[in-house]
A and B are shown apart, each in its own frame.
Chain A
Amino acid sequence: QKEVEQNSGPLSVPEGAIASLNCTYSDRGSQSFFWYRQYSGKSPELIMSIYSNGDKEDGRFTAQLNKASQYVSLLIRDSQPSDSATYLCAVHNAGNNRKLIWGLGTSLAVNP
């Protein structure tokens, strides 16, 4: 079992729809959770961080964390073609030598 798992996709949604990206993790001691966006040929960019159970909203993005079920998700409302990218989930346990554990990413395509 991988430490952080994501569906590789591609996830294809029409413009204006809600894109839902999911991530599960295995380390119950994880405390911090992050979503990075990576455009093709570019480096990852942090778009959301979440540290406690529940929802966190930032513009069109909502991160959801459920520690009991060990999953974190990212919702993108009113998806735009510019949201087409790979979304990387990363999980952090400060006690685990402070290293981030990365998923392999989900490729999202938003179709006009």
Chain B
Amino acid sequence: DVKVTQSSRYLVKRTGEKVFLECVQDMDHENMFWYRQDPGLGLRLIYFSYDVKMKEKGDIPEGYSVSREKKERFSLILESASTNQTSMYLCASSFPATKGGELFFGEGSRLTVL
């Protein structure tokens, strides 16, 4: 059974804290993505990666960074959490470009920043 696993389902952090969200996939996918989803705004792409050690900014990268040291693991980092980063964070993975729209999502991490 293929899986994308996100490390935490629910997190509560304080403003200014450093937050790590980890994502691991077991499908040997090259592509990995981090989205946030907010009511009325839909899915917004934060960062993505098409290969190990490679990363590209998505549509809303400000306040975030990522790390991809191994093919199966893609981490999202909030260097200094702020209340406007309270959201549902979704990790996804996919095969290379020919099927780049067939995403497999993790269960999501709901982050609350107080």
Contact = CB atoms under 8 A, between A and B. Distances in A.
Give the top 7 A-B pairs by smallest Cβ distance, nearest first. Answer: A92-B101, A43-B105, A104-B42, A102-B43, A98-B100, A32-B101, A34-B101
Interface stretch (A17-25, A44-52, A61-69, A74-82): A44-52
Interface in B13-63: 31, 40-43, 45, 48, 50, 56, 58
A42 B100 contact: no
Contact of B58 (A36, A88, A99): A99
Residues of B in contact with A, size category: 20 to 34
Contact of B40 (A92, A94, A98, A104): A104
B97 to A, nearest CB: 5
Given A42-B107, A88-B43, A100 B90 contact: no
Nearest to B33: A100
B105 A90 contact: no
A105 B101 CA distance: 16
A94 B100 contact: yes
Interface residues of A, number: 23
A98 B50 contact: yes
Contacts of A49: 101-102
Interface of B: 31, 40-43, 45, 48, 50, 56, 58, 90, 97-108
Contacts of B103: 36, 44, 46, 100
Given A88-B43, A104-B42, A98 B106 contact: no
B100 A43 contact: no
> Which residue of B41, B48, B101, B108 has the most chain A CB atoms within 10 A of its CB atom?
B101
A8 to B, nearest CB: 9
